[in-house]
Structure formats: C-alpha cells, structure tokens
C-alpha cells in the first residue's frame, strides 16, 4: 500500500535576507525571502518552513522579525511554519495570529519544559514542531541547542523518550553535518523512529535530488524537507528558486 509522500522547502533567514548554509556555517546570500515566497506560489509546494538563524550569528539576539513574518504571511498561498527565538507562549501565539500554521521549537524543549508545555497548551500540539539538530558520534545522538552552544548525548531510546515527552505534534530531524552537502538523508540512523512514534517524522538535510528522497521513502519515511534543491539549480549550484517536483 502506497502512502502519501510529503515534501516541502525550508527557507533560511539571516536578518532580512534569504541564505543557505553548509554545516550550519558560512551563510550564502540568495536574495529576498519575500520574493522567494512569491515564486513558490507559482509552483506546487504544499507548505513552506521558515527558519531565522540571525541569533546563531549574533546579529539579532532574542528577537523575532515580526514585520518580515507579516509580509511573508501576506504573500503566501500555502501554510507556513516558523522557527527562531520563540521564547514563550505569547510570542508563539502572536506568530500563529499573523498567519503561520505552526511554530518550530528547539532549545526551549531542553531549557524550559514549563514554557514549552505552556506553548503547547496555548496553541495546541498540532501547531508545534520539535526540531532536533544532531550529529552521530560513537553510535549516539549528540543533540545541539541554544544555537549550538549546548549539547546533550542521547542513546536511541533516550532520543525517542525526549520526542515522546515533548508533546509536540511533529518532529524534524536535522543532521548538522549533512546540511548543504546534498548527499543523502540520514535515514539509516533514524529508521527506529518510524514505528515508535505516532507523530510525523520529518527528515531534513541531505537531499541531493528526487531519487535521494525516494530512497528514504522506500525505507518507510513519508515526510521530508529540503533547502538546497529548492534554491540551487544545476551542477554549479546557480541560485534559482525552483521546485524539482513541479509539474505544469
């Protein structure tokens, strides 16, 4: 029996610019994020994820760029999710109220369980995504938060427990050293999650082309997000907002 394949782009924002990183470093300027939203409106993407990484590079600490988010929400014809500097339920609710469908949380699940539960109680688990940034070391997951300043080492079972106890309605697994490399998804290390979680498991980082996604799909994964294949084109990675799955 075939299940629905879900694939959507993630756009990375640094201040007011659309950028793309490699290994969470060296952001490359790509253009205007609002214009990227407009271009995706003419493709067949079903949703778009927005991540603000300004705090990672020390340019805008503890601040959500609401004017930019409002402009993006006004232009988008598809559901949007947003992550970056969401510190409490008031901020999360404000993001939902301007037109975003989901908020993406990371550090708060490790640093403030009371506030993370408050966010879920305020906007509902269906509107909360848990994004996990990780590396694999000695058969363990090293999970990073607080813009990479802090980390925790987890076994497979411990990672599963962290996700289950979060209360989030969806989880995105992002392998840091696969970011921007366009090799393949880390589906082998994450396959144990498929039958253990009742919420969607989204693979992030590593998509090379359609085939790399279909390969992970054949292993049982149904949901994917990608960046490079949506903003680059050709062997030289020319900047071009596109949808490799678009059919006119």
Q: What is the average per-residue pLDDT within 204-229?
A: 93
Report residue 1's pLDDT band, with 50, 70 and 90 as the boundaries.
Answer: very low
- The one catalytic residue among 32, 52, 133, 209: 133
Q: How many residues does the chain have?
A: 248
| Residues 21 and 60 sit within 8 Å (Cβ to Cβ) | no
DSSP 197: -
Decide: helix, strand or coil at residue 50: strand
Q: What is the pLDDT of residues 56-104, one digit of tens each?
A: 887 766 789 999 999 999 999 999 999 999 999 999 999 999 999 999 9
> Phi, psi at residue 141, to the nearest 5°?
-95, 120
Q: What is the average per-residue pLDDT within 172-178?
A: 97
| Domains of the chain by start residue, with CATH | 6-239 (3.20.20.70)
Q: What is the average per-residue pLDDT within 162-189?
A: 96
243 has catalytic annotation: no
- Cβ burial 124-154 (10 Å sphere, 16+ → b, else e): ebebbbbbbbbbeeeebbebbbebeeebeeb
Percent of the chain with pLDDT over 70: 96
Residue 247: predicted pLDDT: 62
What is the DSSP code string of 166-185? H--SEEEEEEGGGTTT-S--
């Amino acid at each position: 029996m075939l299940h629905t394949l879900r694939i959507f782009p993630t756009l990375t924002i640094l201040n007011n610019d659309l950028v793309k990183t490699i290994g969470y470093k060296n952001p490359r300027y790509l253009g205007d994020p609002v214009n990227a939203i407009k271009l995706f409106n003419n493709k067949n993407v079903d949703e778009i994820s927005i991540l603000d990484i300004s705090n990672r590079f020390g340019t805008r600490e503890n601040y959500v760029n609401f004017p930019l988010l409002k402009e993006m929400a006004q232009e988008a014809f598809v559901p949007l999710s947003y992550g970056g500097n969401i510190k409490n339920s008031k901020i999360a609710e404000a993001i939902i109220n301007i037109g975003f469908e989901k908020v993406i949380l990371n550090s708060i699940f490790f640093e403030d369980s009371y506030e993370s539960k408050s966010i879920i109680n305020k906007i509902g688990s269906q509107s909360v995504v848990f994004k996990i940034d990780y590396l694999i070391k000695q058969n363990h997951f090293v999970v990073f938060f607080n813009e990479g300043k802090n980390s925790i080492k987890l076994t497979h079972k411990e990672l599963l427990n962290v996700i289950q106890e979060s209360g989030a309605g969806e989880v995105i697994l992002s392998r840091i050293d696969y970011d921007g490399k366009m090799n393949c998804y880390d589906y082998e290390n994450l396959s144990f999650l498929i039958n253990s979680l009742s919420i969607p498991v989204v693979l992030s980082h590593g998509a090379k082309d359609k085939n790399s996604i279909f390969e992970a799909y054949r292993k049982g994964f149904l949901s994917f997000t990608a960046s490079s294949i949506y903003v680059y084109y050709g062997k030289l990675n020319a900047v071009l907002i596109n949808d490799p799955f678009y059919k006119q």
